[in-house]
Amino acid sequence: MRRWAAALGGTALVVAAWGIALVTPEDAEAERSFVVPVEIGDRGEGRNLAVTVTGIRAADAATIDGWVAEGPWLIVDLEAAAVQSELRAQLSHATLSVDGRTFRASERPPDSLFRSALAVGVPRSGSIAFELPEEVFGDDLAVLSLGLSADPRLDSLIELHLEPSSLDRVEEAELMSSGWAR
Protein backbone atom coordinates (compact mmCIF):
# COMPACT_ATOMS: atom_id res chain seq x y z
CA MET A 1 0.00 0.00 0.00
CA ARG A 2 1.27 3.43 -0.83
CA ARG A 3 2.22 5.62 2.06
CA TRP A 4 -0.33 8.35 1.20
CA ALA A 5 -3.12 5.77 1.10
CA ALA A 6 -2.24 4.52 4.58
CA ALA A 7 -2.11 8.07 5.93
CA LEU A 8 -5.47 8.87 4.31
CA GLY A 9 -7.04 5.71 5.71
CA GLY A 10 -5.69 6.44 9.17
CA THR A 11 -6.97 9.99 9.10
CA ALA A 12 -10.38 8.81 7.89
CA LEU A 13 -10.58 6.32 10.77
CA VAL A 14 -9.65 8.97 13.36
CA VAL A 15 -12.27 11.35 11.94
CA ALA A 16 -14.88 8.57 11.96
CA ALA A 17 -14.05 7.71 15.59
CA TRP A 18 -14.34 11.37 16.56
CA GLY A 19 -17.70 11.61 14.78
CA ILE A 20 -19.02 8.53 16.53
CA ALA A 21 -17.86 9.87 19.90
CA LEU A 22 -19.74 13.11 19.11
CA VAL A 23 -23.05 11.48 18.19
CA THR A 24 -22.99 8.80 20.92
CA PRO A 25 -25.84 9.61 23.36
CA GLU A 26 -24.94 9.96 27.02
CA ASP A 27 -25.86 7.19 29.41
CA ALA A 28 -28.59 9.36 30.90
CA GLU A 29 -30.30 9.53 27.49
CA ALA A 30 -31.21 5.85 27.78
CA GLU A 31 -33.36 6.56 30.82
CA ARG A 32 -34.64 10.00 29.91
CA SER A 33 -38.26 10.93 30.71
CA PHE A 34 -40.83 11.15 27.93
CA VAL A 35 -41.76 14.84 27.99
CA VAL A 36 -45.26 15.96 27.01
CA PRO A 37 -45.23 19.76 26.53
CA VAL A 38 -48.45 21.60 27.39
CA GLU A 39 -49.77 25.15 27.54
CA ILE A 40 -52.14 26.52 30.15
CA GLY A 41 -55.59 25.11 29.45
CA ASP A 42 -54.33 22.24 27.27
CA ARG A 43 -54.74 18.65 28.31
CA GLY A 44 -51.49 16.70 28.17
CA GLU A 45 -51.56 12.92 28.32
CA GLY A 46 -48.64 10.64 29.12
CA ARG A 47 -48.37 6.93 29.91
CA ASN A 48 -50.60 6.95 32.97
CA LEU A 49 -51.10 10.65 33.69
CA ALA A 50 -53.35 13.24 32.07
CA VAL A 51 -53.04 16.83 33.29
CA THR A 52 -54.65 20.15 32.44
CA VAL A 53 -53.01 23.16 34.08
CA THR A 54 -55.91 25.60 34.53
CA GLY A 55 -54.10 28.52 36.12
CA ILE A 56 -50.90 29.85 37.66
CA ARG A 57 -50.89 32.47 40.40
CA ALA A 58 -48.28 34.28 42.50
CA ALA A 59 -48.95 35.45 46.04
CA ASP A 60 -47.19 36.70 49.17
CA ALA A 61 -49.22 34.34 51.32
CA ALA A 62 -51.12 31.12 50.63
CA THR A 63 -54.24 30.03 52.50
CA ILE A 64 -56.57 27.07 52.60
CA ASP A 65 -59.15 26.04 55.21
CA GLY A 66 -57.88 28.53 57.78
CA TRP A 67 -54.22 27.65 57.19
CA VAL A 68 -52.08 30.65 56.24
CA ALA A 69 -48.36 30.77 55.39
CA GLU A 70 -46.12 33.56 54.21
CA GLY A 71 -44.28 32.74 50.99
CA PRO A 72 -43.80 34.00 48.44
CA TRP A 73 -45.76 31.25 46.69
CA LEU A 74 -46.35 30.14 43.16
CA ILE A 75 -49.67 28.31 43.00
CA VAL A 76 -50.58 25.97 40.16
CA ASP A 77 -54.25 25.03 39.68
CA LEU A 78 -54.77 21.84 37.75
CA GLU A 79 -56.93 18.87 36.86
CA ALA A 80 -55.30 15.46 36.88
CA ALA A 81 -56.37 11.89 36.20
CA ALA A 82 -54.75 8.51 35.70
CA VAL A 83 -55.04 6.96 32.24
CA GLN A 84 -54.52 3.21 32.54
CA SER A 85 -54.29 1.99 36.13
CA GLU A 86 -54.81 3.36 39.63
CA LEU A 87 -51.92 1.33 40.98
CA ARG A 88 -49.17 3.74 42.14
CA ALA A 89 -51.06 6.61 40.46
CA GLN A 90 -50.16 9.50 42.73
CA LEU A 91 -48.97 12.90 41.59
CA SER A 92 -45.63 12.33 43.34
CA HIS A 93 -43.42 14.38 41.04
CA ALA A 94 -44.05 18.13 40.96
CA THR A 95 -41.05 20.37 40.42
CA LEU A 96 -40.33 23.87 39.19
CA SER A 97 -36.95 24.45 37.54
CA VAL A 98 -35.68 28.00 37.34
CA ASP A 99 -32.23 29.07 36.23
CA GLY A 100 -30.56 25.73 36.96
CA ARG A 101 -32.27 25.27 40.32
CA THR A 102 -35.11 22.81 40.92
CA PHE A 103 -37.76 23.34 43.57
CA ARG A 104 -40.18 20.62 44.71
CA ALA A 105 -43.82 21.35 45.47
CA SER A 106 -44.45 22.19 49.10
CA GLU A 107 -45.76 19.67 51.60
CA ARG A 108 -46.89 22.46 53.91
CA PRO A 109 -50.45 23.13 52.69
CA PRO A 110 -52.85 20.77 54.52
CA ASP A 111 -54.75 20.12 51.28
CA SER A 112 -52.99 19.91 47.91
CA LEU A 113 -52.91 17.64 44.88
CA PHE A 114 -49.19 16.98 45.46
CA ARG A 115 -48.82 13.24 46.22
CA SER A 116 -52.58 12.71 46.12
CA ALA A 117 -54.11 9.62 44.51
CA LEU A 118 -55.57 9.90 41.01
CA ALA A 119 -58.51 8.03 39.47
CA VAL A 120 -58.60 6.47 36.01
CA GLY A 121 -60.69 8.56 33.63
CA VAL A 122 -62.29 10.74 36.34
CA PRO A 123 -60.22 13.91 36.82
CA ARG A 124 -59.58 15.51 40.19
CA SER A 125 -58.94 19.22 40.55
CA GLY A 126 -56.94 21.17 43.09
CA SER A 127 -53.72 23.12 43.52
CA ILE A 128 -50.07 22.52 44.17
CA ALA A 129 -47.97 25.24 45.74
CA PHE A 130 -44.28 26.10 45.42
CA GLU A 131 -42.62 28.11 48.16
CA LEU A 132 -39.88 30.01 46.35
CA PRO A 133 -37.12 32.53 46.98
CA GLU A 134 -37.99 36.10 46.02
CA GLU A 135 -35.61 36.30 43.03
CA VAL A 136 -37.42 33.51 41.17
CA PHE A 137 -40.32 35.88 40.53
CA GLY A 138 -37.98 38.09 38.49
CA ASP A 139 -37.01 35.26 36.12
CA ASP A 140 -38.35 34.99 32.59
CA LEU A 141 -38.47 31.22 32.30
CA ALA A 142 -39.49 28.46 34.66
CA VAL A 143 -40.34 24.86 33.79
CA LEU A 144 -43.12 23.11 35.67
CA SER A 145 -42.78 19.34 35.53
CA LEU A 146 -45.43 16.86 36.70
CA GLY A 147 -45.19 13.08 36.91
CA LEU A 148 -46.35 10.03 38.83
CA SER A 149 -43.10 8.77 40.31
CA ALA A 150 -40.73 10.81 42.44
CA ASP A 151 -38.08 9.22 40.21
CA PRO A 152 -39.12 10.52 36.79
CA ARG A 153 -36.77 8.41 34.67
CA LEU A 154 -38.34 6.46 31.80
CA ASP A 155 -41.84 7.70 32.55
CA SER A 156 -43.95 10.47 31.09
CA LEU A 157 -43.52 14.01 32.39
CA ILE A 158 -46.03 16.74 31.65
CA GLU A 159 -44.04 19.98 31.20
CA LEU A 160 -45.19 23.57 31.04
CA HIS A 161 -43.01 26.61 30.38
CA LEU A 162 -44.04 29.74 32.21
CA GLU A 163 -42.80 33.26 32.83
CA PRO A 164 -42.69 34.04 36.57
CA SER A 165 -41.87 37.72 35.97
CA SER A 166 -45.15 38.23 34.09
CA LEU A 167 -47.36 36.96 36.94
CA ASP A 168 -49.46 39.49 38.87
CA ARG A 169 -48.48 39.09 42.49
CA VAL A 170 -51.38 39.29 44.96
CA GLU A 171 -51.16 39.63 48.72
CA GLU A 172 -52.98 36.44 49.54
CA ALA A 173 -54.23 33.55 47.40
CA GLU A 174 -56.37 30.61 48.37
CA LEU A 175 -55.48 27.13 47.14
CA MET A 176 -58.30 25.21 45.46
CA SER A 177 -59.55 22.46 47.71
CA SER A 178 -58.94 19.04 46.19
CA GLY A 179 -61.99 17.30 44.80
CA TRP A 180 -63.59 15.89 41.69
CA ALA A 181 -63.13 18.26 38.78
CA ARG A 182 -66.75 17.87 37.60
Partner 1 sequence: MTVDAVMNRRGWWRRNALPLVGVAVLLPATFGVIAWNEWNEYFSGQPTQAVVAPPGASVEFEGAVWGPAEIEVMDPGAVLEAPAGSRVVMVAVPVDPGTDAVTCLPPTLRETTGAQREWQHATFEIGWSPEPDELGSCALTGTDPFTITVAFLVPLDATGPLAVELISPEALPRFARLLVEP
Question: Which of 40, 120, 143, 167 lies at the binding interface for partner 1 (CB under 8 A)?
Answer: 120
Residues 2-41: x where in contact with partner 1 by CB under 8 A, - otherwise, as a string = ----------------------------------------
Question: Which of 68, 122, 150, 170 lies at the binding interface for partner 1 (CB under 8 A)?
Answer: 122
* Pairing mode, strands 179-180 and 124-131: antiparallel
Question: Which of 7, 12, 14, 119 lies at the binding interface for partner 1 (CB under 8 A)?
Answer: 119
Q: Which of residues 79-118 bind partner 1 (CB under 8 A)?
A: 83-87
- Shortest Cβ distance from residue 158 to partner 1 (Å)? 19
Residues 159-178: x where in contact with partner 1 by CB under 8 A, - otherwise, as a string = --------------------
- How far apart, in whole angstroms, are the C-alpha atoms of residue 23 and residue 141? 29
* Pairing mode, strands 101-104 and 124-131: unpaired
What element of type H or E holds 15? helix 3-23
- How far apart, in whole angstroms, are the C-alpha atoms of residue 144 and residue 159? 6
Question: Is 154 an interacting residue with respect to partner 1 (CB under 8 A)?
Answer: no
User: How many other β-carbons are positioned within 10 Å of the β-carbon of residue 114?
Assistant: 23
- Shortest Cβ distance from residue 125 to partner 1 (Å)? 10
**Sheet containing strand 34-38, strands side by side:** 34-38, 156-162, 142-147, 93-98, 101-104
- Under the rule (CB under 8 A), what is the footprint of partner 1? 83-87, 119-122, 180-182
